[in-house]
Amino acid sequence: MINTRNYDSTFATKAHAVRTALCALLFGLLLVHTSSHAAPSKLKAKAKTKATTAQHQNPSKSATKDEQKFKTMIHRVAKDVGVDPALLMAVVKVESNFDQHATNPSGPMGLMQITHTTAKTVSPNISRRELMLPEKNLRVGALHLKQLLQDFHDPKLALAAYQAGAGRVKEKGHHVLGNPHTAGHVNKVMQHYHSYRGHSDLAQKPGSARLRKVALTRRR
């Protein structure tokens, strides 16, 4: 006679073992599935980090078509006016991202995002149409930047004045850098400036004026 109690016990034990094995198998498959999806994301994130680092170390590797287009012109204008080419590149990068057609409803225009009113302080007879010409815009903007560097004796204050207006900087001094928008703008320019500075064709040459706190312009 079959002992049904022992049979039921054995069957329950085997069923439990099967369920346990199936659960383990499903858990293993879930881990494999999750890992297969997570790995590409991690690789993408790692690649993005490397690309960002490379961009800061060598701007030429991530240079846009417009940046390459105006690079020689910016270098020439900077040398003519007497400002650091790397600084002028950085200002153009942040102001317009090398878009010669960039405009703003509040008035700034062109590569240097300079207003017609401000442009007339360094070039009284310039017209709005002329101000949209790349080289004219660069030259006027560079002259204005040079004047600010000479007036404030501090590159960060000069860049703040370029963005927020000289009057505001004269009124608030270094406190103007407490404004998040102005401080963010200045920091972006300085970051790009330090990147471009490492560029062989934008770096100051031996024997030229060294970059100091008050010497981002060069005497002519």
Catalytic annotation, residues: 95
Cα three-residue angle 160-182-216, rounded to 5 degrees: 30
CA angle at 180 for the pair 167 and 120, rounded to the nearest 5°: 30
The C-alpha atoms of residue 145 and residue 163 are separated, in whole angstroms, by 10
The alpha carbons of the chain give a radius of gyration, in whole angstroms, of: 30
DSSP 216: S
Does residue 114 sit in helix, strand or coil? strand
